[in-house]
Amino acid sequence: MRNITLVITALLLSSLFSEAARAQTEQFHLTAKDGVSLNGQIDFPADSAIKGVILLVPGTGLFDRDVKFGQTNTEKDLIFKEIAKSLTARHFAVVRFDYRGVNCNGNSGTAKQCIDNQIRAGVTPENIRDDIETIYNSAIANKKLAGKKVLVFGHSEGSLHLSYLIAQKRIQPHAVIFMGGLAESPQAVIHWQLTERFSSALFEFDSNSDGIVDNDEIKVGHAKKLNFLYQLPVEVLFSPKGSWTHQALNTYLEDSYQLVKAEALSHTDDEPMGANGLVQASYRWWKMYFTDNQPVIENLANFKGQIYYLNGSIDSQTNFTRQNDELKRTETAFSLKPQIVKVENMGHSLGADQIFGPIHPSSLELIGNTCLKLIEQKANQVSKNL
């Protein structure tokens, strides 16, 4: 009888705890300006002591609210879910959303189940920003969040969209945090990614440091996964002549970049762009990377709050040195100097990989501590160093 009582008690407690867990998450279903459905959730802390609100905006990808961006096939790959858990533990309410036309991720469904190609075919930079604005306005109107300071957190391309919304005064957050964010323009970053970045990575395979990388060295470097190039088939890295010099490779990459740019610009804005049966967006979105030469940081020149960049030292998507140089170039334009934190030995998602998550626990701590410091600052108050 005692064992039966214990089992019943355990089941009752389990039910209560499940109800409490559900009560800490509030789903939302909104209608975008053009009628598309927008879905997401607000994660609340375990108690009612909400210090502030943080809106998480993903980077480039077919992302739902969890943002699966890792290769471990574990829950740790869900980088926004991990960030939300860390921030709610610090008494923040966290707003996460599914990009339009995305309703699940690889942990919860197949690509065909998760992606609505028809909706994705209409994605543009403009309606991405419209959607973020709609979600932001819904969050600040939530009765549970009334009067709370709002931070916006952008990963990678998310920094670009947030910067335009702030420049146009469509959102007015207390402060801004970027993870792997852009300071330079989309045009500058895509040119670097397709030329200098590729060249530098390939010459990391030059094992004898003679300024020439031959196809045998490429095979070895690729097999050792020395950098992000391991994700490409090794054959596409080979020189047709058996080896690359710096000049030959740089000329080849610049010519290739011009071909990619010309191909992108040859499409009409409303044509769908994608591969393997999945639509990423319209070509209007892809063209942005070849036509938008406005540095992201210049969009924020009139912003009165604090701006923090958290960028990894081994980030292969938004190079730390390039972003830091761009910030130095523009720092006199700001009433508050933008801060950039170099997160040593971390990549684009502040994990050990140059691009992907999981996020390292120390990086989650850094994000949390940064948000706590920023939420306690008044607008126009110069922050202390972290």
251-263: per-residue pLDDT in tens? 999 999 999 999 9
CATH of 14-185+294-376, one of 3.10.180.10, 3.40.50.1820, 3.90.1280.10, 3.30.450.20: 3.40.50.1820
Element (H, E) at 307: strand 306-312
Classified as helix, coil or strand, 44 is coil
pLDDT attached to residue 233? 96
Mean pLDDT of 94-103: 98
The torsion defined by the Cα of 10, 15, 19 and 20, in degrees rounded to 10, comes to 0
Can you give the pTM of this predicted structure? 0.91
136-170: per-residue pLDDT in tens? 999 999 999 999 999 999 999 999 999 999 999 99
113-127: per-residue pLDDT in tens? 999 999 999 999 999
| pLDDT score of 265 more than 60 | yes
Give 376's pLDDT tier (boundaries 50, 70, 90).
confident
| pLDDT score of 13 more than 50 | no
| pLDDT score of 3 more than 70 | no
| pLDDT score of 10 more than 50 | no
Q: Which of 300, 318, 301 is nearest to 310 (CA)?
A: 318
| pLDDT score of 362 more than 90 | yes
Mean pLDDT of 61-90: 96
Give 378's pLDDT tier (boundaries 50, 70, 90).
low
Q: Cα–Cα distance between 117 and 88 in angstroms, integer? A: 33
pLDDT attached to residue 201? 97
Q: Provide the b/e sequence for 19-50 (b: ≥16 CB within 10 Å).
A: eeeeeeebeeeeebeeebebbbbbbbbeeeeb
Which comes out higher in pLDDT, residue 82 or 336?
82
| pLDDT score of 16 more than 80 | no
pLDDT attached to residue 111? 82
pLDDT averaged over the chain?
92
N-to-C CA span, the chain: 57
168-191: per-residue pLDDT in tens? 999 999 999 999 999 999 999 999
pLDDT attached to residue 244? 98
| pLDDT score of 333 more than 80 | yes
| pLDDT score of 371 more than 80 | yes
- Edge to edge, the sheet with strand 175-179 lists 25-31, 37-43, 92-97, 52-57, 150-155, 175-179, 306-312, 339-343
Domain-wise residue ranges, the chain: 14-185+294-376, 191-287
